[in-house]
Amino acid sequence: MSIISRGAAAAALAICVALSGQAHAQTPAPAQQRKPAAQPAAPAAPAAPAAPSNRVELIATQPEWTKVCGKDEAANKEICYTTRDFGQAADQAPVLAVAIYDVKGDEQRIVRLLLPVGLMLRPGFRFSVDKGAAIEGNYEICFPNGCFAEARVKGATLDSMKKGSLLNVNVKNQVNNEVIFVVPLAGFGKAFDGAAIDPKVLEEQQKQLQADLQKRAEEERKRLEGEIAVPGAPPAAAPR
């Protein structure tokens, strides 16, 4: 039962107790009145059904986790982040991106997610590793192509991510149903503890990825145009 339901039930119970007390005070009890038999307890109200959850299994759309390092000139600190994109199919655009930031000298790390638009922002999000305890995070900013959400974690959570198999990201959609994005963690620990990628290699990878996405988009456009055209239809007669 939800908190609202419990609150409403408690308020109704308080009113009933007050009314029954007033009735008892206004009605004189006859002499030698027998005590009423104990009434059976009312059955407990059934618990409200849990909102349905949609489990979305994602796969990596990049060959491996990528570690990138650089220096924050303002803070004079080295910052590294280990990231990977995930989608429902390897030949489709990513649905979700994960990046874990490690600022040299800071005890906490930042788990940053790029989530799709159209989700409820108010409750934030939760994530867990395998069957571990859930950790809460908040949305930071949204753009037309997605929303950034963050949570700060300590060493124990980072260690569980290195050793774990799945990252479960819980969000709420527009109709308040829970959606669970399931992200594989294979290879994360090796990449996080390993050396950073060369910036030039990263730039080439990004160019290749962009070219592949454009090629797939063009192929999909041609496929849709072919489905719209009616096969075997006679050509239109030329105007006289």
pLDDT tens profile 5-35: 222 222 222 222 222 333 333 333 333 444 4
Q: Closest by alpha carbon to 98, among 193, 192, 234?
A: 192
Question: Which bin fits 123, alpha (ψ -120 to 50), beta or left (φ > 0)?
Answer: alpha
Dihedral sign of CA atoms 117, 123, 124, 127 in order: negative
Residue range 103-110: average pLDDT? Answer: 92
- The pLDDT, as a whole number, for residue 8 is 28
Whether 116 is covered by a domain: the verdict is yes
Whether 192 is covered by a domain: the verdict is yes
| Cα separation, 171 vs 142, whole angstroms | 15
Other Cβ atoms less than 10 A from the Cβ of 134: the count is: 11
50 by Cβ neighbours in 10 Å (0-12 / 13-18 / 19+) ranks as exposed
- The pLDDT, as a whole number, for residue 233 is 53
Whether 70 is covered by a domain: the verdict is yes
Q: Higher confidence at residue 66 or residue 237?
A: 66
- The pLDDT, as a whole number, for residue 64 is 92
Whether 158 is covered by a domain: the verdict is yes
Residue 4 has pLDDT above 50, yes or no: no
Residue 37 has pLDDT above 80, yes or no: no
Whether 146 is covered by a domain: the verdict is yes
We report the CATH number of the domain holding residue 101 as 2.60.40.1880
Specify the residue for token string 């996405």: 213
- The pLDDT, as a whole number, for residue 16 is 28
Determine what percent of the chain is predicted with pLDDT higher than 90: 48
Whether 18 is covered by a domain: the verdict is no
Residue 185 has pLDDT above 70, yes or no: yes
The parent domain of residue 93 ranges over 53-215
- The pLDDT, as a whole number, for residue 198 is 79
Whether 32 is covered by a domain: the verdict is no
Residue 22 makes CB contacts below 8 A (sequence gap 6+) with none
- The pLDDT, as a whole number, for residue 7 is 29
- The pLDDT, as a whole number, for residue 52 is 55
- The pLDDT, as a whole number, for residue 42 is 46
Q: How many CA atoms lie within 13 A of 80 on its CB side?
A: 18
Q: Higher confidence at residue 53 or residue 39?
A: 53
Work out how many domains the chain is built from and give that number: 1
Other Cβ atoms less than 10 A from the Cβ of 106: the count is: 13
Asked whether 178 and 49 are in contact (CB, 8 A), the reply is: no
- The pLDDT, as a whole number, for residue 230 is 54
Residue 173 has pLDDT above 60, yes or no: yes
**171: confidence class by pLDDT, cuts 50, 70, 90:** very high
User: What average pLDDT does the chain have?
Assistant: 77
| Cα separation, 72 vs 69, whole angstroms | 10
Q: Give the H or E element holding residue 158.
A: helix 155-163
Whether 37 is covered by a domain: the verdict is no
Lowest mean pLDDT among 28-37, 87-96, 143-152: 28-37
* Residue 143: C-alpha distances to residues 147, 149, 164, 172, 188 (Å): 6, 12, 31, 18, 27
- The pLDDT, as a whole number, for residue 231 is 57
